Structure 1
Amino acid sequence: MPLGPLVKDLREALGYSQARLADLLCASADHATVTRETVSRWEHGTRNPGPFWLRHLAAVLEVPLEVLEDAKVNRRRFLTNAAATAIAPVVASDLIRSGFTSALAEDRPGLDEWRDKLVTYGRDYMSLGAAEIQKRLSLDLLVLQQQLETPGLWDVAAKLMTLYGKTFPGSDGAKAATWYRIAAEAADRSQNDETRVWVRGRAAIALGYEGAGLGMADLFASQAMAISDKPSLGRLNAIMGRAHVAALRGDRTTALRLLREGRHVFDRIGSEEQTSDYAVPWWRMNVFVSLMSARLGDERTAVAAQEQARAELPASLPRFTTHLDLHRGLMLAKAGDQQGGIAYAQQALSALPPEKHSLTLRLLMEEIRGRGH
């Protein structure tokens, strides 16, 4: 997406008029002058903001600067270019070899085989480390890139790219957000509204839960909810993502309203599947509620959600038990005992084997230390 439409979408997701955005930019820039007309020119692409205003746009729109820089140069990177710049753990020769091997193969994976891979990745993501998933998935994405000829394959690609984006922390520049944006475009090519909603909703809850890129989280959530009002896991993720954003902004009323709406949707479509990133069972819904309530300082609701989550959390997923422990550490910090909260959370994180650590846990630890959003 070019810079102009992205700025417009982010502005509208925040509920700002062009004049309001101009006023906020002036205040952010110590009252340097920018007008509504200038914002309009930026959004229509007749003028581009320079580095100075780009920095202030990122601050006001609550997105990493790199997201706007990437859009400004309009690099239409798809899988090959993205792999070259974003895949650190994989040796380049392995990527090249994998791509050519797939191109030369006569029996390329069919749609059913790709769907089976999708199920496997959804389960593996819950228990394996981000680096291992990223390495495996980057190779498969390069293979899949060569087969994107049908809506069904675009559907699989969109979901795999969404998961791939989750292997990068939301605070790591534009990497996570860029992958979510590419995944959303891929989902549109799937011609499947349920997939279009799910990809955007999953991006919203990922960014909102991490407390990073709140403007992008809001944008993805608003897009998901505008595509369809049908109850679905995608819509549930979008609602809960937006609830976390509201909690982080200190908007308690909106956060609680969205939580009520999320509970209502969950009651209709909650997952039976317990161990997939593509599912939201009861225990995972309570993980969402636990962190949001901890952020709001609502200890009673947070503790109740933690107890309910622990009662059903599969023993094979110790990382999520650590999530709940970090939520409790955040509660202590919010209640005024920051050192106690840090110590409690650090002890829980240290007890988890290093290969089970996730980028999201690291971001939560930074939030407890007071260096988060």
Structure 2
Amino acid sequence: MAIGELITDLRKARGWSQGRLASAINDAFGTNLDREYISRWERSKVTPGRFYLRCLSAVLDVPLAVLEGEVKRRKFLSDVAATAIAPVVASDLLTAGFSARLDGGPSADDWEGKLTTYGTEYMSLGAADIQRRVSGELVVVQQQLDTPHLWSVASRLMTLYAKTFPGSDGSKAVNWYRMAAKAADRSGDAQARVWVRGRAAIALGYEGASLGVADVLADQAMAISDKPSLGLLNAIMGKAHAAAIRGDRATARKLMNQGRRVFDKAASYEQTSDYAVPWWRMNVFVSLLAARLGDEGTAVAAQDAARRELPATLPRFATHLEMHRGLMLARSGDKAGGTAYARAALDALPPEKHSLTLRLLMTEVEAS
């Protein structure tokens, strides 16, 4: 099929306008496209060169091969997980899956090691790379779900996989979060049940997406156990962000204070894992929440505290903090200044370090 027709389908699958697609490319790569240029691509009046194909690949979060016609359109649109899997790779995954069933596959300890590795790598690698690798792990673990422990492993892998899709994308992320919750329930592990739901709630709340789902999952986590834990902390802070976005300032502040009390009892020492919430990361949560509430004093204090302990190996999170300042400026009435500040922070981060969450944050600043 024509490349223009494919771009149109991929754009519409995300619910984006031509203008939003142009803005996403400009924000990520410093280009100067407008809606009309996207329209010319889609009408096949102009064929995007390899540079712009790479731009489209990044902002639409699809393999470059899809845009170059090497993966069939129907396969891509029908199953996002399959988009990153070329036929030869699919064959390898099937082999790995059956081998795991026939030969036993990785041990429970091996799986815990894998989860630890992915938790660390998620903090610095791109979503597309993690998505491809975790999809392979899910094929294997699916064949080993014979014990409660492996259901717990699967639930945590599913949660990580869900996070590689933007919550604003609708059903993809949400469906995986819901399946992860069901898998955690099968494990009978209360800690996993709370963590999976809490991690989903903070991911959706931070992104400002699917707020109803964020609330439901947070409420479920809080009902399962009120014992201080990282899962409970994530659930509370996710619910706080949802309240702030809806304009319920009193509830958001109450939940923020509750989250701080839980953090005092359940904080992590591990600094660079997605499964951890150390002091600097808690302050990233508070920074955005306070910015959304218009509480500049609390936001700036949280940003300064986070910077003092933020590992230098995680520049993406430093960008988050700068963009929170842009959001504060925009919400205080200086929309142009806040937008420029946030965009400058995003542009200063190498494109390969950009994330879907940062792009959604840029959109929030622009809309403030």
Normalised-by-shorter TM-score class: 0.7 to 0.9
Q: Is the 8 A contact 1:95 1:139 kept in 2?
A: no
Q: Distance in 2 between matches of 1:109 and 1:281?
A: 30
Match status 1:292 vs 2:289? yes
Contact 1:127-1:317 within 8 A present in 2 as well = yes
- Secondary structure of residue in 2 paired with 1:344: helix
Q: Which residue of 2 aligns with 1:85?
A: 79
Q: Is the counterpart of residue 161 in structure 1 residue 158 in structure 2?
A: yes
| Cα gap change, 1:82 to 1:272, in 2 (>3 Å) | farther
2:227 equivalent among 226, 230, 233: 230
Task: Give 1:22's aligned residue.
Answer: none
Structure 1 distance, partners of 2:77, 2:152, is 20
Q: Tell me what 1:52 maps to.
A: none
Cα deviation, 1:304-348, whole Å, max 9, x if unaligned, reads 000000000000000000000110110011011111111111111
Aligned counterparts of 2:213 and 2:316: Cα–Cα separation in 1:
26
The 2-side partners of 1:141 and 1:239 are apart by 28
Verify: 1:95 aligned to 2:85, yes or no.
no
Among candidates 245, 260, 264, match of residue 263 of structure 1: 260
Q: Which amino acid aligns with 2:268?
A: S
The code of the aligned residue for 1:89 comes to A
What's the RMSD between the two structures over aligned residues? 1.6
Aligned to 2:276: 279
**Residue 138 (structure 2) pairs with residue 104 (structure 1):** no
Deviation at 1:82, TM superposition (A): 12
Asked if the contact 1:83/1:138 (under 8 Å) is kept, the reply is no
CA distance in 2, matches of 1:89, 1:243: 35
In 2: Cα distance, 1:341 partner to 1:165 partner: 30
Conserved 8 A contact 2:236-2:255: yes
| 87-96 vs 178-187, greater mean Cα deviation | 87-96
Contact 2:104 2:144 in 1 (8 A): no
| CA drift at 1:353 | 1.1
TM-score calculated relative to the size of structure 1: 0.76
User: 1:5-30 CA deviation, whole Å, 9 max, x = no partner?
Assistant: xxxxxxxxxxxxxxxxxxxxxxxxxx
Structure 1: runs of 5 or more not aligned: 1-80
Per-residue CA deviation, residues 156-196 of structure 1 (Å, 9 max, x unaligned), is 11011101101100111211111100100000011100100
Alpha-carbon distance in 2 for matches of 1:89, 1:156: 23
- Report the counterpart of residue 246 of structure 1 in structure 2: 243
- For residue 355 of structure 2, what is the amino acid of its counterpart? S
Matched residue, 2:302: 305
Q: Which residue in 1 is equivalent to 2:137? A: 140
Give the SS at the match of 1:267: helix
Q: How far is 1:96 from its partner? A: 3.4
Identity fraction in percent: 65
The answer to whether the Cα contact below 8 Å between 1:306 and 1:324 also exists between their aligned partners in 2 is yes
Aligned counterparts of 2:143 and 2:367: Cα–Cα separation in 1: 45
Secondary structure in 1 aligned to 2:174? helix
List, as ranges, runs of 4+ consecutive aligned residues in structure 1 with deviation greater than 6 Å.
81-84
Local SS of the residue matching 2:164: coil
Letter in 2 for 1:119: T
State the distance in 1 between where 2:143 and 2:206 align.
33
Alignment coverage as a number of residue pairs: 291
Offset at residue 144 of structure 1 (A):
1.1
1:222-280 deviations in Å (ceiling 9; x for gaps)? 00000011111100000000100110011111111101100000000100000000000
Q: Given residue 85 of structure 1, which amino acid in structure 2 is its aligned partner?
A: D
Q: What TM-score does the superposition give when structure 2 sets the normalisation length? A: 0.77
Counterpart contact for 1:130–1:167, Cα < 8 Å: yes
Structure 1 SS opposite 2:367: coil
In 2, Cα distance between equivalents of 1:306 and 1:281: 14
Bigger shift: residues 267-276 or 102-111: 102-111
In structure 2, C-alpha distance between the alignment counterparts of 1:163 and 1:102, rounded to whole Å: 19
CA distance, structure 2, for counterparts of residue 274 and residue 303 of structure 1: 21
